[in-house]
Structure 1
Amino acid sequence: MKRISLFRHAEAIDGPPEMADIDRPLTPRGRDDAARMGGTIAKREPLPDVVLCSPSVRTRETLEYANLPGNRETIFNPAIYHAPAKQILAAIKTLPDSHGHVLIVGHNPGFHDLALKLAAPDDGDADALKKLMRKFPKGALASYEFDIGAWRDAAFGGGRLTDFVRPKELRPR
């Protein structure tokens, strides 16, 4: 069994016109959301044993503020910066099979498309899939299980969506 968790970067500043998109940092709310989401990820088993992260400032900060416990390999992969679903899946397929759970920190629109394409339509959490179909908001986490032994076998429609958590569900009221 392999697990994929998609963690969309938290809310980032719009930035001045001269700021490159890749350099936009998180807002205070984004930092808080990333920390809350990190607490949620930390309570789940198994924890990710590898992270694929876009090299943007906002994805790096999302991972930093999530402050996940334990040690894991982190790969900053430029190929997933604003990548389409097919390109992100290709990056997943290159992972060593010794890793069982990958956390990917990235961007929309490719993330939302990937999240929908990974989900087997008739297997998994139907309520989570309905929420996911509407929107993959900043800071959200979608988690999947795949009945495969090798990453090269990960495929669209092959994942069982086990959970979808949005930051607004974790904020104090």
Structure 2
Amino acid sequence: MRHGEAEIGKKLEKDIDRPLSEKGRFGAKIIGTILPDYVSGPLTIICSPAQRTRQTLDALCLKSSISLKFIDKLYYGNFDDYISLITTISQDGVPLLVIGHNPAISQVVTQLNSNCLPVASRPRFLQPANLALFDFPIAKNRISIGRGNFIALLKP
């Protein structure tokens, strides 16, 4: 999932401190109401430590998680960092929710996908508060990159 829309134009010392806009909070809240139609039960959640990703997570109002980790590499990292985290943290049968940033999150969604997403040719196709859902075969307790079956792209 890409974080909700962040405020722009505010003078902040650091990008990591940018908060969500009202539209961003509303968009994430909508995704939080849709997500249980697709995923039920416990979740493993990894989230960037940025203010806007934390606020996105809060706005989702998820009731069930077995593990929540704020991981610096989801803010500072690149495509390879995201893939490494996803493949090492994934657990057999437990949905993983990743809340991160473009361009890495869009690149990851493109690479995880085995069936073509019509918008995946664009490097930053995930808009704020968009969530791409996949189902993966698990081999040796790890997901197989490029083997994900795309289920849905949730948009507020």
Q: Does 1:116 align with 2:105?
A: no
Over aligned residue pairs, what C-alpha RMSD do you find? 2.0
Higher strand share: 1
Structure 1 residue 161 corresponds to structure 2 residue 150: yes
Q: 1:130 aligns with which of 113, 118, 126?
A: 118
For structure 2, the 5+ residue unaligned runs are none
Q: CA deviation at 1:154?
A: 3.0
Normalising by structure 2, what TM-score?
A: 0.88
Which residue matches 2:82? 88
Structure 1 residue aligned with 2:61: 67
Matched, 1:51 2:45: yes
Q: Matches of 2:121 and 2:154 in 1, distance apart?
A: 13
**Matched length:** 154
Write the distance in 2 (CA, Å) between the matches of 1:151 and 1:90. Answer: 14
Alignment of 1:102 with 2:132, yes or no, is no
CA–CA distance in structure 2, aligned partners of residues 13 and 148 of structure 1: 38
Change (3 A) 1:99 1:62: same
Partner Cα separation in structure 2 for residue 104 and residue 22 of structure 1: 17
1:30-66 deviations in whole A, cap 9, x for unaligned?
A: 0000100111112223345200100000000000001
Work out the CA distance in 2 between the residues paired with 1:75 and 1:84.
18
How does the TM-score come out when normalised to structure 1? 0.80
The 2-side partners of 1:15 and 1:74 are apart by 31
Offset at 1:14?
1.9
1:26 and 2:26 are equivalent in the alignment? no
Bigger mean CA offset, 64-73 vs 130-139 = 130-139
Q: Distance in 2 between matches of 1:13 and 1:50?
A: 28
Q: Which residue of structure 2 aligns with residue 144 of structure 1?
A: 134
* Paired residue secondary structure (1:142): strand
The residue identity in structure 2 corresponding to 1:136 is: L
Identity %: 29
Q: Whole-Å Cα distance in 2 between the matches of residues 144 and 96 of structure 1?
A: 13
